Amino acid sequence: MVRDYQKDSVLMYETKSGSRNKNITAGVAQGSILGPNFWNVLYGSLLRKDMPEKALVGYTDNIAAVIEARNPELA
The model's confidence at residue 74, banded by pLDDT at 50, 70 and 90, is low
DSSP 3-71: TTTTTT-EEEEEETTEEEEEE--SS--TT-SSHHHHHHHHHHHHHH---TTEEEEEETTEEEEEE--SS
Closest CA to 66 of 44, 24, 52, 21: 52
Is residue 21 scored above 90 in pLDDT?
Answer: yes
Q: pTM value?
A: 0.46
Is residue 13 scored above 90 in pLDDT?
Answer: yes
**C-alpha to C-alpha distance for 50 and 40, rounded to whole angstroms:** 17
pLDDT digits (tens, 9 = 90+) for 26-69: 777 777 788 888 888 878 888 788 877 777 777 766 778 787 77
